[in-house]
Each structure stands twice: as C-alpha cells, then as structure tokens.
Amino acid sequence: MRENVRAFVETAVAAFDLAGPVYEFGSYLVPGQEELADLRPLFPGRRYIGCDMRAGPGVDRVEDVSRLSLPDGCAETIVCVETLEHVFEARRAVEELIRVLAPGGVLLLAAPFDFRVHDYPSDYWRLTPSCIARLLSPLPAAIVGWQGVAGHPHTVFGAACKTPVGARFHRGAGRFVEGFQAWLAQQEAQLGWRRWTRRLKGALRGKGERREMREYNAASFCIELPADRVAPRTHAASVLSAGGGRVDLIAQGK
C-alpha cells in the first residue's frame, strides 16, 4: 500500500464519520507493509472484518470478492483499496460490494493507474477515473478523484454512498476534498530542499516526465450528488481556490 492511499482512507474516515461494521476487501498484510497497510487503527471502536482470498495476517474471513458469501446490506463501510487491479471480474466484484453495502453506507475504492505490474494473484487491470465512475454509477452519490497528471494519473480514487444519501455524506464531501488536498499540500511542503534535487533531475527528463514530477501531488475530484443535495457547491468552490486542484460538482436526479 502507498502512503497516499492510506491518507485517502484516513481522510474519508474523518470527513464522513464512517460507521461499523467495516469490511475491508484485500486486507492481507504483505510482508514489509504491515504497519502502512494495516487500516484497522483508523477505525477505533468499530467492528472490523478483514477479507481476502487467502488466509494470513490481517485476514478474518477468506472471501472471493467477486462471489461473496456475505448477506445483503451487512456492511456500513466497505474499504477496497489497491485490490481491484488483481480481480479478473472487477465489475462483478464492485456489484458484490454494492450488494453487501448497507443502506446509507459508504464504499471506498482506490486503484493504481501508472504503476508497475505487481504480484498476487496477478495484475490484470488499470482502471481510469471514468471506469471508477461507471462502476459506482448504481450509487446515487459519489466522489471520483485522481492524483497526478489528469491524462495520466498515478492513482484513482472513489467514495460513494448508497441510498438514502444522508447529511453525513452530504456534509462530508467538501470536508473530504479539502482534507485530502491539505494532506497533498503538506507532502509537497515536506519536500524542502529535495525539491531542488528533483527539479535538477527533471531538467534531464522529457517534457512529459517533468510534468508528471511537477504534478505528482496534484489531485482533482468530481462530486456527484442527487439533485436535492447541491448545497456543497459554495464549499466546493472554496476548496478549489484554496487547494489548487479541480473540484467539479455535478447534480443529477438520481
């Protein structure tokens, strides 16, 4: 797991006050990533069930995410990060996640886009922001974002809420975007003197590579809410001016 993906989950927990039980799919703790990839501490006091297709550290239930044995509506929060690229039937997997998500529950997705081919069980897919948006389209409210160059991001994110869309998700949308943009700004500030080293190395690279380096900590988000939930427009605009990323608010009559 990468630090930006953990920050995505941590920001969502704070913004949406995510409830339990929490089900994580793809919870196996790979050796060497035990501390970074362990998301349980982000959900204190909530019942947490780690699921993966193989038994091991971090796994409470062995489950095939594309064929879950769980009942409908059993999960108040679902986390599935750095996992869908390893699921051959990715569309069916998201349908299953939506099935077991409780009414008013929140689903968090994250996947790499510009990233090396990596292991277990194999690495099948790279999901674009529009793909994540389509996968989440059965849900009435969603935030889809990407980090890096808009046409070639390194990470894609999605957060969505199942009907009924309550005030928790409504109010949390702007807080989530603002919080994640603040984390990215902090990462950029912490580069310090290393920024000059990066720029020096960048001068030896092509134009496209220099842009990827320059915009690595830039993020854009699209917020999609039901037609009667458009009040965050003003807040979204303030996030845009403060955070430097793009925030689009789309109201629709779902």
pLDDT at residue 152, rounded to an integer: 87
pTM of the entire predicted model = 0.84
Type of residue at 184: L
Residue 52 and residue 80 in contact, taking contact as beta carbons nearer than 8 Å: no
Identify the pLDDT of residue 122. 87
Q: Name which of 142, 167, 152 is nearest 225 in CA terms.
A: 142
Q: What is the pLDDT of residue 188?
A: 84
pLDDT in tens, 15-62: 999 999 999 999 999 898 889 999 999 999 999 999 999 999 999 999
DSSP state of 245: S
What confidence score (pLDDT) does residue 157 get? 96
The values of phi and psi at residue 161, to 5°, are -120, 140
Domains of the chain: 3-252 (3.40.50.150)
Say what the pLDDT of residue 231 is: 44
Q: Which two tokens stand for residue 109?
A: 């997705």
Q: Order of strands, edge to edge, in the sheet holding 219-226?
A: 61-62, 48-52, 22-25, 75-81, 101-112, 152-161, 141-149, 219-226, 246-252
Report how far apart, in Å, the C-alpha atoms of 70 and of each of 99, 129, 148 are: 9, 28, 36
Given a cut of 70, the residues of the chain with pLDDT beneath it are 120, 192-215, 227-254
Contact residues for 13 (Cβ-Cβ < 8 A; gap 6+): 42, 43
- Residue 34 to residue 27: CA distance in whole angstroms: 10
**Is 142 in contact with 224 (CB distance < 8 Å)?**
yes
